[in-house]
Structure 1
Amino acid sequence: MKNIKIASLAACMTWMLSLIFFSACSNDDTASASGSSAPSIEYVAPSGYNIDGSLKPLTPTRVGDPKNYYVIHGKGLLTTTKVYFNDFDTYFRPTFVTDTDIIILLDENTPYANVSSKLKVVTQKGTVVYDFVVAPPVPSFSQFYPINATAGQEVTITGKYFLNPVVTLAKTKTLPEVPVTVVSSTLEKIVIKLPENADLRYLSIANISGATTSTYAVGTAIFDDVSYYGLDFPAWNNFKYLTDGKAEQGTTYIEKEMDAWGNLQGNWSWFDKLTPYSGIRVAIKAKAEGKVRLVFNGDWGTGSPTLSVTTEWKTFYLPWSMFSSSDRVQNITFQNQTATAKGDGLPNTFYIDNIGFMLKAE
C-alpha cells in the first residue's frame, strides 16, 4: 500500500510538471509579450488524480475543496506574487507557474464562512479577481438532544461545518427523506423543530460538500438527561447528576463512586416493546482505567458482559445476543470490576451517559 501511494504521488507530480513544461514551451515565443500583459483568469479546474487512479479532467469549476490541487488557467500569470482564496494568503510554488497556468494546493485552513468567495491573483502587472467558492468539509455530527423529542419540540444538534445546513429525516429503504425546519444555526450548533412521525428516524445534515447522518435515531433513549420507561436509578444509590458541560450526550450525565465490587443498581421496571431494536448502547468513562460489569435484568451469572473503560468517553454497542434474556428490559445495573493484577478489587468512579436502544439494520 505504501508503494502504491508513493507511485501515485510521483505520477501526480509528473503530470503537473508535464503540464507546466508543455505550457512553457508552447508560450516560449510569446513569453515576453504575455508576461508584460495584465493578468486574466479563464477558469479554475481540479488537478491531479482521482482516488481510483484516473486523471482528473480539466473541467472548470467555481467550487473548490480544501486539501486538493487546482489549475488556475488564464493569461499574464507568469509574474504572480500572491494568490488569495477568500483573502487567505495561499502558498504556491513558483516552479508551478507559467504565463497561462498556476497549479496550487487549496489550503485546508482557508476560511469558508462569512467570506468574499473570491480568488485573487496578484502579479507584477496587475491583479485579477475571480468568483470562486471554497467549500466547507462535510458536516460532522456530534450529538442531538433531547433524543426522545416529540413532534413540534425543539431539538439541538451539535457538530461542525454547519454552513447553510439542510436538515432532514434521513431516507430509509421504505421511507423518503423529510425536510426539517431549521430554527437557528451556527457553524457548530443547529436548533430544529421536530416534524411529525420522526420517531425511530435518523437525522441527516447536509451542506454544499455532502451529508452526514446521526449515529442513533430519534426516540431511542433510555437515559438522556432524564430516564425513560421507569428504568432509572433510586436515590439510595448515592450517585450524582453532573451538568458541567462534559456530558457525552445532551447536558446531564451520571457520576457514581464505587467501592471495590460496588455497584449502581437500577430500578426494577418492565419494558418489552423491543421489536425495532437489536440491542442497547451506553457511554461510559471512569476516573481511572478499569472494568465495569453491566448486569442486565438481574442476571449476575454469565449473561452479563464486562466492559473495559478508560478516562475518555467510549460508547459500547451491545447486541441482545450478549445477554441471557432479551425479551424485555427490566433492570440495568453497573458493577465495579476494577482490580489489581492479583485480582484484588479497587475502588473507582464511573461516569455513565447515553443509555439507549440500537435500531435493527434495515
Structure 2
Amino acid sequence: MFLNKMNMKKINKQSNFAMFMVLFTLVLGYASCKKTDEGAGGQPVITRVRLISKTDTLKNVVHRITLDSNLTYDETRQVTFDSTIVAGRLNNQYAIVGENLLTTLSVSFNGLNVNYNPALLTDHSIIISIPEQTPYGTSQSNKLVVTTKFGTASFDFPILQPPPVITSFSPVAAGAGETVTLTGTIFEGVTKVAFDLVPAEIIGTPTKTQIQVKVPAGVVQSRILVTTPGGTTRSAGSFGFKSLLYDDAFPTGWGSYFGYNSTRDLANTLHVKRGTSAIENTFTDGYGALQIGYNGSTIDVARSGLTAIKLSIYGGAGIVAGSKVQLVINGNYGNAVPITLTPGTYTDYTIPLKDLGSPTVITEFVLQSLGNAVPSVIYVDDIGFI
C-alpha cells in the first residue's frame, strides 16, 4: 500500500513536469511564430521597385561578332531580363523590394496613400498598384514612402505623366489662321500641336483640359496631334473636309431641292456650330426629311479619296432623349444609318461611306425623322466628306 502511494506521487510529479514542458514549448512556439510573423523587425529599407510581369522580356538577339577584318559570325544570346524600373506609371502594378517590410502600415507615392495586398506582404516585398489619381509631374516630391511598425523608408521614384487625351475639338473645320479649341485631359506641359505633319501655333495659355491653336496654312483635312512630356496622342476624329457640302452656304451645284414634309431656314442664326449660319429644319411629319439634292457634276468618291461623311446636328424644340433621324445617301434607304440626337447641344457624327452602301458618287443627302414629335426642329452645320 505504501509503495503504491509512493509510485503514484512519482507518476504525478512526472505528469506535472511533462505538462509544464508542453506548455513551455507552446509558449515558446507562439513567441517564435509571432516574431516570424513580424519579420526580423528593424528599420525598413527599400532597395528597388520592379515590374510584376515579364511580358516585355526581350527575345533572343542576334549579335554580329568580328574576330578580325576577314572573319565574322553571328551568335544568338538570351538577353537577361531586368525587371527593375526607375519610374512608375498610373494604373500599373509593381513590387517594392527591400528589407523589414512585413509590418508595413502604409505606402504612398507623392504623398498619396495607395492600397497594397496584405496577403501578399512579405518581409522583402510589397505588391502595390498605382491608382489613376496619383499626383505626377516635376512639381511633385517624386518620393515612394513605406511606413512600418519600426520606422519609415523613403525612395526616389517619380510617377510618369500619362499621354494626353483628346476628347473633342471645335470647330471641326476652319480656315488658315482661325482658332481651333482642343478639349481633353492631361494637357500639362504641352510642347507641340500639329495638324498631321504641319505644326500649329499655340495661342494663349493652355490648361490641363484645353488648348487653343491657329490653323496652319494649307491644311484641308487632317488629324490633330498633341505632344506633352507624357507622349503624343492623335485625335480620333478628322479636322476639316476633303469635300464640303455645307458650311455657311452650299457650293455650286447643291440645293436643287431641299426636302419633304418639312420646312427650313437656310440662313438661320439661332443655333450655329461654326461661322455665321446653320440649316434650321422643322419636321412637319413624323417621317419628314431634310433632303439636299445635287444638280451639278457628281462628286467622285474614289477620285476625291472620300471614306466618310461628317456633320454636326443640334437637337432643338420637340427633340427629346432618344429621338433619332436616319442618314441616307443617294436615296439608298436600304443602307440608311440611324443617328441618335442630343437635345439642346451640337453633336459631331462621322459615318463611314461603307455603312451607307459604299456609293461611288454622291448625288443626294437626306436626314429623315424617325417618328419624332411633330413639329420638331433640328439644326445642321458643317456637312462634308473626309
Tell me the TM-score range normalised by the shorter chain. Answer: 0.5 to 0.7
Residue 277 of structure 1 aligns to a residue whose secondary structure is coil
The answer to whether the aligner puts 1:157 opposite 2:185 as a matched pair is: no
- Whether the 8 Å CA contact 1:47–1:58 is kept in 2: the answer is no
Matched residue, 2:202: 182
Q: CA deviation at 1:70?
A: 0.6
Matched residue, 2:108: 84
- Whether the 8 Å CA contact 1:229–1:269 is kept in 2: the answer is no
Q: CA deviation at 1:185?
A: 2.0
The answer to whether the aligner puts 1:315 opposite 2:349 as a matched pair is: yes
Percent identical: 27
Residue 221 of structure 2 aligns to a residue whose secondary structure is coil
- Whether the 8 Å CA contact 2:142–2:157 is kept in 1: the answer is yes
Instruction: Trace 1:59-98 onto structure 2 (pairs within 5 A).
Output: 59-98=83-122
What is the TM-score when the length of structure 2 is the normalising length?
0.62
- Select the residue among 25, 29, 36 that pairs with 2:42: 36
Structure 1 unaligned runs (5+)?
1-27, 172-176, 340-344
Separation of aligned partners in 1, 2:184 and 2:155: 31
- Whether the 8 Å CA contact 1:147–1:224 is kept in 2: the answer is no
Separation of aligned partners in 1, 2:82 and 2:275: 46
Spell out, residue by residue over 1:226-261, the C-alpha distance to the aligned partner (whole angstroms, 9 max, x if none).
Answer: 557476999x714866659xx7x9999766441213
The answer to whether the aligner puts 1:144 opposite 2:169 as a matched pair is: yes
The answer to whether the aligner puts 1:264 opposite 2:320 as a matched pair is: no
What is the TM-score when the length of structure 1 is the normalising length?
0.66
Instruction: Trace 1:1-362 onto structure 2 (pairs within 5 A).
Output: 31-32=39-40, 35-37=41-43, 39-48=44-53, 50=55, 58-112=82-136, 115-169=140-194, 177-183=197-203, 184-220=205-241, 222=244, 226=248, 229=251, 237-238=264-265, 256-260=281-285, 261-266=287-292, 272=299, 275-284=304-313, 286-287=319-320, 289=322, 291-294=324-327, 296=329, 301-302=331-332, 305-312=335-342, 313=347, 315-319=349-353, 322=356, 327=361, 332-338=365-371, 348-350=376-378, 352=380, 355-358=383-386
Separation of aligned partners in 2, 1:227 and 1:128: 67
- Whether the 8 Å CA contact 2:264–2:280 is kept in 1: the answer is no
Aligned CA-pair RMSD: 4.4
- Whether the 8 Å CA contact 1:238–1:256 is kept in 2: the answer is yes
Spell out, residue by residue over 1:209-231, the C-alpha distance to the aligned partner (whole angstroms, 9 max, x if none).
Answer: 54332234333184898557476
Are residues 213 and 224 of structure 1, via their aligned partners in 2, closer, same or farther at CA, if it must alter by over 3 Å?
A: farther
Separation of aligned partners in 1, 2:355 and 2:218: 30
Letter in 2 for 1:319: L
Are residues 120 and 225 of structure 1, via their aligned partners in 2, closer, same or farther at CA, if it must alter by over 3 Å?
A: farther
- Whether the 8 Å CA contact 2:264–2:282 is kept in 1: the answer is no
Q: CA deviation at 1:293?
A: 4.4
Separation of aligned partners in 1, 2:368 and 2:141: 56
Separation of aligned partners in 1, 2:115 and 2:216: 46
Are residues 128 and 219 of structure 1, via their aligned partners in 2, closer, same or farther at CA, if it must alter by over 3 Å?
A: same
Q: CA deviation at 1:108?
A: 2.6
Which has the higher Rg, Structure 1 or Structure 2? 2
Structure 2 unaligned runs (5+)?
1-35, 60-79
Separation of aligned partners in 2, 1:310 and 1:88: 42
Are residues 156 and 93 of structure 1, via their aligned partners in 2, closer, same or farther at CA, if it must alter by over 3 Å?
A: same
Matched residue, 1:8: none
- Whether the 8 Å CA contact 2:336–2:356 is kept in 1: the answer is no
Q: CA deviation at 1:351?
A: 5.3
